[in-house]
Amino acid sequence: MEESKRIRSLKKRLIKELPFFPNNKKTLTDLESQSLNGILIHYLHWKTRLVPARRRRIQIAPEVTSDKRWRRLKEDINALLHKIRNEEDVFPYLSKRAHYYGYTPAQRIKDGEVDSWEDKDQILNTKGFHHFHLNMNVQSTGLSERTDDVLFAYVTRENFHAIGIFDHSVFDSADSNGNMNDERSRMWRLHEKHAMLGMEPGTAYISHPIATSGHPIYIVRMADFYANIIRATTILSGT
């Protein structure tokens, strides 16, 4: 079924905003050939990596203030939290990948050219943690100076729950024997602590399920839901 003019226009606007890479005609053509559902998945997934400016309530887990790095980093952490409380822009402190790595063609992954997580935040998708760099000096690029130590947090529309301080080794995968480094192991323990809060011992649970593509299941369902509404509205309006 041929797409309506309105849907083609919507896809074009979403693709224009989505930071794809490589930023070339081939990637653009790949995106333009995809269905509305596919474009919505990529767009909504990228948007989940960003943290819009909203006034949020702050919670600080004891693991943050008891960390040996707290004394050295507390000034910058408090400056970040001040911005969160006061509805200020925190985009500069997000990962560079959140700004520039919104989508890459699946064929590049199949060909072994890039890792399957190249355009996704594995820890955000599977654990729910956003992470923030802790240097308040914003450069001409629009990003803050990068720091090895980052703050992990659960972020919702209303709340910002600071969970822990980690260095960048937390992003290293387990080795071939399944062994994780200290920071990644600690991150897993903190995730389990919060995911299982209030559960009876031995309770089975599924936390942040993802599709085989690596996208969160709720994003896939949301994209399908939105696409159905858009198509139905388009049919009713005759455009």
Q: What is the DSSP string of 58-114?
A: EEE-HHHHTSTTHHHHHHHHHHHHHHHHTT---GGGS-HHHHH-SB--HHHHHTTSS
Phi, psi of 54 (to 5 degrees): -145, 150
pLDDT at 239: 64
Q: Collect the ranges in the chain with pLDDT lower than 50.
A: none
Check residue 87 and give left, alpha or beta (phi > 0: left; psi -120 to 50: alpha): left
Query: In the numeric block, which tokens belong to residue 33?
Result: 């050939």
pLDDT at 200: 86
Place of tokens 């919060």: 194
pLDDT at 134: 98
pLDDT at 204: 85
**Rounded-to-integer distance, Cα 138 and Cα 170, Å:** 24
Q: Is the pTM for the entire model greater than 0.85?
A: yes
